[in-house]
Amino acid sequence: MPTIGIILGSTRPNRVGDQVARWVLDHASRRTDAGFELLDLRDHPLPHLDEPMPPSLAQYQNEHTRRWAETVAAYDGFVIVTPEYNHGIPGVLKNALDYLYAEWNNKALGLVSYGAAGGARSAEQLRLVAAELQMADVRQQVTLSLHTEFENFSVFKPGDHSVHALNTMLDQVIAWTSALAPLRTAPAVAN
């Protein structure tokens, strides 16, 4: 059974992302076709990218990088829960993605975004990053507006339409995770 990591992409004080990530985990955990775990970036503090070699070489010098690489490598696919900051993704999330390369390859990715415009622009930026990391981002995404799905912009109260979008996205992530399994287990080909 595949294991999917739900990455909480904000470390900001007073964030609402923890409510969203718990909602995703709660719904996902009811499924029997995959296992789900929460990966809070607060639990994986990484300094601003400090590796001397490009991540594609996998020559990690720092212990924090090796720990992060082990964590990411253990999952078969991911769902990223992200806010939108200034029409983009949070710096801490981009930094966590940039630290690694092969550990992200050939894994499915679902997106749950939130913000004034539902976080749609941060999700689109993540699709560009995912392509470079050789991740397969699925079509369905969950966009949550701070105006309609959060009481007083701080208490998460999702509508039924969001549950439907979440379930569809999870179906796609699990299907693609399974489809990509042979690529993740194939021996590396030297260039």
pLDDT band at 189 (very low <50, low <70, confident <90, very high): low
Say how far residue 12 (Cα) sits from the centre of its chain.
16
Backbone angles phi, psi at 44, to 5 degrees: -130, 65
For the entire predicted model, the pTM comes to 0.95
Assigned token pair, 110: 């679902």
Assigned token pair, 54: 């490009």
The secondary structure element, H or E, covering residue 172 is helix 160-185
- Best CATH choice for the domain 3-185 from the list 3.40.50.720, 3.20.20.60, 3.40.50.300, 3.40.50.360: 3.40.50.360
d(CA 139, CA 143): 12
Q: What is the pLDDT of residues 33-89, one digit of tens each?
A: 999 999 999 999 999 999 999 999 999 999 999 999 999 999 999 999 999 999 999
Amino acid found at 157: K
| Residue spans of beta strands (DSSP E) within the chain | 3-8, 35-40, 77-83, 108-115, 136-145, 150-151, 155-156
d(CA 156, CA 170): 20
d(CA 137, CA 127): 6
Percent of the chain with pLDDT over 70: 97
Q: What is the pLDDT of residues 83-116, one digit of tens each?
A: 999 999 999 999 999 999 999 999 999 999 999 9
CB crowding 144-171: b at 16 or more within 10 Å, else e: bbbeebbeeeeebebeeebeebbbbbbe
d(CA 184, CA 180): 7
**CA–CA–CA angle 121, 126, 132 (5° rounding):** 140
Q: Within a 10 A sphere around the Cβ of 178, how many other Cβ atoms?
A: 16
